[in-house]
Amino acid sequence: MNRRVLIVEDEPNIASALEFLLGHAGFDVELEADGANAISRISKSRADLVILDVMLPNRSGFDILRDMRAGAFQSLPVLMLTAKGQSQDRKTAEELGVTAFMTKPFSNAAVIETVRKLVEA
């Protein structure tokens, strides 16, 4: 059975590139572009991993991560993938319980390697 990855990313080019990349690597991929819908989508997706952008419409990735860790998704791996790579953003993500943090632009090989590690852990 293929592992399922939910990508919460509002930039269509990045979302489709990740969908293609991870799909080609053997993952089942779902997409969500709106931060306000993220928790509901996570609940329905049965994902093994969430790739979460920080800057999303209607709700930030930090707020989504905070809700995940306070609710039913405390142990679901989250890879935060963001253009906001400042040390404060990384620190905030770590304090909220992120599993891994990666900045854009990213290496395709690094994304695949990180996703594989997180879903197999």
87: confidence class by pLDDT, cuts 50, 70, 90 = confident
Mean pLDDT on 84-110:
91
Q: What is the CATH number of the domain that holds 71?
A: 3.40.50.2300
Q: Which residues contact 11 (CB under 8 A, 6 or more apart)?
A: 53
For the chain, the average pLDDT equals 94
Tell me the CA end-to-end span of the chain in Å, nearest whole number. 16
Tell me the residue range of the domain where 64 lies.
4-120
Q: How many domains does the chain have?
A: 1
Q: Is 119 exposed, middle or buried (0-12, 13-18, 19+ CB in 10 A)?
A: middle
pLDDT in tens, 56-70: 999 999 999 999 999
The first and second tokens of residue 9, run together, are: 């990313």
The string of pLDDT tens digits covering residues 12-40 is 999 999 999 999 999 999 999 999 999 99
Instruction: Please tell me whether the overall predicted TM-score, pTM, comes out greater than 0.75 for this model.
Output: yes
